[in-house]
Amino acid sequence: MSHAYTPGLKVSEAAEFLRVRLLPIPGDVLVKQGEDVEPESVVARALLPGNVVTANLARLLGVAATDIPALLLVKEGDAVTKDQPIAQSKGIFGMFKQSANAPTTGVLESVSKVSGQAIFREAPIPVDVKAYVGGTVSEIVPGFGAHVDARGTMVQGIFGIGPEVSGEIVIASDDPARPLLPADVKPTHRGKVLVGGSVARLDALRACVQAGVAALVVGGIDAADLKELLGYDIGVAITGSEAVGLTVVVTEGFGELAMSGRTHRLLSDVAGRKASVSGATQIRAGVMRPEVLVPHEIEVIEKTETDSGYMHGGSVVRIIRDPHFGELGKVVDLPPEPARLDTEAKVRILTVALRSGEHVTLPRANVELVDERL
């Protein structure tokens, strides 16, 4: 039997995860190599130039632009506050003077002698990059950020939405095949990472948002419910910036799909610990997976097939296309030669034995490796 390489989902209780945390523009690195950090620790900070606000002083004062420099009450480069007088006309015989006030709080950058236009710069906008995961700073990237290294439990999902968050893991149900119900979501789950079961319907998702749950990890989700929650169809894109007040990691796929027993067990084993969760997903070039990272002490790093992408006979895979979407099985045949499908396309194929005992033949591109035992 031949072998092949294919992307996979990492699900391990003893993984190493290195996360590179960099600013989009040069700034200041606030940590040192070897320093221990928490998910909320700011590792680097930059200041974006503030917004520009303009005001035509010549028009406001009713004078020529060339007269403006002599009428200024502040100098270029001075700090000003909103509505502070910054220029005043001489008036007539010292009377009927006109004043021009600052339109915003910031700095008076310049005044044009040609147009009479004044340019104000608002306060710089800070951009912080946090560690995201609790670990140790293993490398500094001068002026931009750092590498954060940690070990522990790692669970990658098939799809997700929402930004990076952190919180204590709470298990909603001991049964990975039971749907998450709105009644399962409690006020005490505010700021927590809630682990559900087979699916979270729209009412359960909204209950999580209302309760202030930081992140939800669940087996499946309905595409129509997701569209209703977001208010738009997400389509094929990079996710992770959705502002619905909840980060979601889907471990199995779309529909009512029981969470993998191994995934549920690993998350149950680290219940009560702080997890870092990201919903960012990219399914095209440069694949990004939503993830749950739970740092804790481990002695030996577990190496699995998903680390190498090496698929062979006996490998456990998940089917990621209809009509068997979400089902798990074992590879029983990897023919080396391309075969012609019913669609007349000629592709490399494989045969997978499903849990039901049925054997299905499909394109290799329709499966992904998973860290699961069948």
Residue 310: helix, strand or coil by DSSP? strand
The runs of H, that is alpha helices, within 133-238 are 202-211, 223-230
Structural contact between residues 277 and 191, judged by C-beta atoms closer than 8 angstroms: no
Structural domains in the chain plus CATH codes? 9-16+151-295 (3.50.30), 52-122 (2.40.50), 312-370 (2.30.30.30)
Residue 140 clears pLDDT 80, i.e. is over it: yes
Distance CA 56, CA 25 (A): 32
pLDDT tens track for 315-332: 888 888 878 877 889 999
Q: Which of 2-6, 83-87, 199-203 has the lowest mean pLDDT?
A: 2-6
- How many Å separate Cα 176 from the centre of its chain? 25
Tokens of residue 254, six digits:
């779309």
pTM: 0.81
Q: What kind and span of H or E run contains 111?
A: strand 106-111
Confidence of residue 285 (pLDDT cuts 50, 70, 90): low
Q: For the chain, how are helix, strand and coil distributed in percent, rounded to 5?
A: 15, 40, 45
CA dihedral for 339, 341, 344, 348, sign (positive or negative)? negative
Q: Given this model, what pLDDT does residue 4 score?
A: 65
Q: Which amino acid does the sequence have at 136?
A: T
Tell me: pLDDT of 9 over 90: no
SS3 272: coil
Place of tokens 């790093």: 301
Query: What pLDDT band is residue 10 in, cutting at 50, 70 and 90?
Result: confident
Percent pLDDT > 90 in the chain is: 67
Task: Encode pLDDT of 37-88 as tens digits.
Answer: 999 999 999 999 999 999 999 999 989 999 999 999 999 999 999 999 999 9
Q: What are residue 69's phi and psi, to 5 degrees?
A: -55, -35
